[in-house]
Structure 1
Amino acid sequence: MTETNSIGLHEGSASQLAEKLNHLLANYQIFYMNVRGYHWNVKGSNFFELHTKFEELYTDLLTKVDEVAERILTLGHTPVHAYSDYVTMADIQEAKDVHDGEACVRGILKGYQTLIELQRDVLSLASDADDEGTASQAGDYIREQEKTVWMLNAYLG
């Protein structure tokens, strides 16, 4: 008899997924703060449009931070919640003293590329574990963010 959690997933699979999701959460938190910083500090001729766009992006990222943490809880595990842990766990590095609009957009592109790659790993693991909830969440994020990457690349020319 296999051990399952409260939503019927094998506990070993749920544990692996929670670990991957905590890694994703750490990256979301660092990326969120980077985009927030870009919003505050961007300068240049495109200030108004970038300032507004960055606010839209960081608002969406903050929503996803909450959703990823809640998915970890749904799996029966605890989301990492110390910023010091995020810094050590994340692949995305903190962006400091970035003011140039194009550099901000490039930083955002790099962040999304990292998230998409991590989410593909989550999607694969969730699919193998028959975890439709996590797979659906990851798939939705990937679809949205791929479109954002396309648009940001188009913005840069």
Structure 2
Amino acid sequence: MSRRSSRPRRPAPAPAAPRRITPESPCPCGLPATCAACCGRLLTGAAAAPTCEALMRSRYTAFVLRDVGHLLRTWHPDTRPPSLDLDAAQRWTGLDILETTDGSAFHTTGTVTFRAHFTAGGRAGSLHERSRFVRHEGAWVYATADFAD
């Protein structure tokens, strides 16, 4: 016969809610602008990303806000998954752009190397990635990535 503990069980931690970002909030991508004046314009479709770095920053902001639509719209159709299932327990906490190669209005390809910081399950972590971007039908889109760590 097994003995049951009289200690009450701790409930599982609730998934982290996406950050409450308003148009007047600082942009999650880290640039010194409001979300509306920075990545918000790209997420709503009011503006197109002028550079691959701008697209990278908007995609990071989309992860913060869990905007799957923006992530899928800005993914090259040859490498885009049919859907995304974002981890509800993960909260993105900061973005460091480490290097950008090409990716301006004068290029058709570019790369952005970055480190994105997060917490998940009460533990801090980071994602170090070199993302490749290409122009598709005139717009910058995410194509592929190599993970550095």
TM-score of the pair, normalised by structure 1? 0.27
TM-score (norm 2): 0.28
Larger Rg over CA atoms = 2
Select the structure with the greater relative contact order (CA < 8 A; seq sep ≥ 6). 1
Where is the strand percentage greater, Structure 1 or Structure 2? 2
